[in-house]
Amino acid sequence: MLEFRIVSGVAEIHPNAWNRLGVPADNPFMEWEWFHQLESSSSIGPDTGWIPCHLTAWRRHALAAVVPLYLKTREMPEYTSEDFQINGYIAAEDVYPFPRLVGTVPATPAPVYRFLISSGENEAAMIRLLLEQVERICADGGIHSCAFMFVDRFWNGWNEMSGYHGLLHPGFIWNNTGLANWEDFLGGFRSNQRKNIRKEQRAMKGEGIRITPLTGDGIGPDLAPFLWECYCNTADHFGDFGIRFLTRRFFEGICERFAERLLVITAERGGEKIASAFLVHKGGRLFGRYWGARENVRHLHFNVCYYTPLNWAIRHGCRSMNPGVGGAHKLRRGFELEPNACFYRLFPESLHRKIGKRLIPLLNLQNRRTIQVVNRRLPRKQEGVRQDSRRDDQHSVTQAAGIYRSRVAKYSG
């Protein structure tokens, strides 16, 4: 007998019971501790427009599945320009899109979300049952839209989302092609960009800046105030698009209780910390999350957020790095575009059919073309192809960045 319950926070579920539910070996954000720090630190909760209402399934008093869900009570950025367009489309039909039921890892625009299901369950059958319960929640609450944001591309649940509209949008990724060291990484670029990256790295020595990667025991609560300051500096710089989701308590708790999953890059000059990048890793996947600086130093961002983490990823055998959203400059520094996915269900059914017939296909076509065109213009070396001149190389990269900027919303990354 299967029983469904809604819980008002992850604290109502034992950590071991949550983490036994098929938490992927390469996905740190679906672990109980990450959700708990978001909620217990007051970063995510009713006061910030996120009401936890996690759907759970129980079989003989044992937890069989969890669908992390939040009722969003007000509009705020979801880190995709397409989401704004969908909300606008709904509003144009005289249907207010909020509150909205959202399945996501809050404040984490990385393709990592999935349902958590016990290995003893039939996954496909359980997903269908859970989706039926989600629709029932929407119907009972008078909710006009449900969205699963930034879904993990390695999750089989994609195949069971037939009643939802899948929306693809561009995201950044670096995939390790079996590189042995940093020189192998540089060797994948055309000569001009290879020289440019080396120049940007040398600039740190000229500025007297020392960059250090920290992991595990090297990360503690004493580092949290500095990480919080850096996070706030970046959020404030981007105004309305830089909402301070995270509190200082989040950084204190995550550094104390989740350090084994963290990679923190610090930059120092004269013994004083001036910048940091906050990354999360598990099972060969590295995710860049937050960055900030006390000083504006040219090329510092590239070294702290990209070159040092990528070098670390290569040395530790990581298979990929997701650097976060936004920032066309990533395209010149080892990253390319890949399709990320969100899934939408709208109510009433007539609105769902209308958006699936018009808006969704148009956005998907546009984004697929963007990804293809941009990735063809990256400054990568191609075997058997004459190396472009400096001018041609720069023109190609500028075109790629321009195409991306024109079609994808710009957020900090």
Do the beta carbons of residue 204 and residue 198 sit within 8 Å?
Answer: no
By CB neighbour count within 10 A (0-12 exposed, 13-18 middle, 19+ buried), where does 3 fall? exposed
CA–CA gap between residue 409 and residue 169 (Å, rounded): 10
Tokens 């008002």 map to which residue?
8
Find the helix or strand (DSSP H, E) in which 54 lies.
Answer: strand 54-59
**What is the pTM assigned to this prediction?**
0.90
Task: For the chain, give every domain's residue range.
Answer: 2-170+339-368, 174-337
CA–CA gap between residue 375 and residue 245 (Å, rounded): 32
**Residues in contact with 237: Cβ distance below 8 Å, sequence separation at least 6, in sequence order:** 412
pLDDT, tens digit (0-9, with 9 covering 90-100), for 359-373: 899 999 999 999 999
Q: How many CB atoms lie within 10 A of CB 329?
A: 15
Residue 396's pLDDT band (cuts 50, 70, 90) = very low
Instruction: Identify the pLDDT of residue 382.
Output: 62
pLDDT, tens digit (0-9, with 9 covering 90-100), for 194-203: 999 999 999 9
Residue 76's pLDDT band (cuts 50, 70, 90) = low
Describe the crossing of helices 191-206 and 390-407 by its angle, rounded to 10 degrees.
80
Residue 412 vs residue 275, higher pLDDT: 275
Q: Closest by alpha carbon to 371, among 412, 400, 334?
A: 400
* Residues pairing with 59 in the sheet: 2, 62
Q: Is residue 410 pLDDT above 50, yes or no?
A: no
* Residues pairing with 346 in the sheet: 145
DSSP state of 317: T
Give the dihedral of Cα atoms 115, 139, 78, 344; nearest 10 deg.
70
Helix (H, G, I), strand (E, B) or coil at 203: helix
Instruction: Identify the pLDDT of residue 209.
Output: 98
Q: Is there a cis peptide before residue 99, judged by omega within 30 degrees of 0?
A: yes
Long-range contacts of 181-187 (CB under 8 A, 24+ apart): 181/314, 181/315, 182/311, 182/314, 184/314, 185/310, 185/311, 185/314, 185/334, 187/381
Pick the CATH number of 2-170+339-368 from 3.40.630.30, 3.30.360.10, 3.20.20.70, 3.20.20.140: 3.40.630.30
CA-CA distances (angstroms) from residue 126 to 32, 63, 66, 115, 380?
20, 13, 10, 10, 44
Q: Is residue 107 pLDDT above 80, yes or no?
A: yes
Residue 387 vs residue 82, higher pLDDT: 82
Residues 334-361, buried b or exposed e (16+ Cβ, 10 A)? bbbbbbbbbbbbbbeeebbeebeeebbe
**Residues in contact with 195: Cβ distance below 8 Å, sequence separation at least 6, in sequence order:** none
Residue 402's pLDDT band (cuts 50, 70, 90) = low
DSSP state of 113: B
Instruction: Identify the pLDDT of residue 411.
Output: 33
The first and second tokens of residue 191, run together, are 């000569």
What is the CATH superfamily name and number for domain 174-337?
Gcn5-related N-acetyltransferase (GNAT) (3.40.630.30)
Helix (H, G, I), strand (E, B) or coil at 36: helix
By CB neighbour count within 10 A (0-12 exposed, 13-18 middle, 19+ buried), where does 239 fall? exposed
> 2-170+339-368 and 174-337: same fold?
yes
The first and second tokens of residue 329, run together, are 């400059």
Min mean pLDDT across 171-180, 248-257, 356-365 is at 356-365
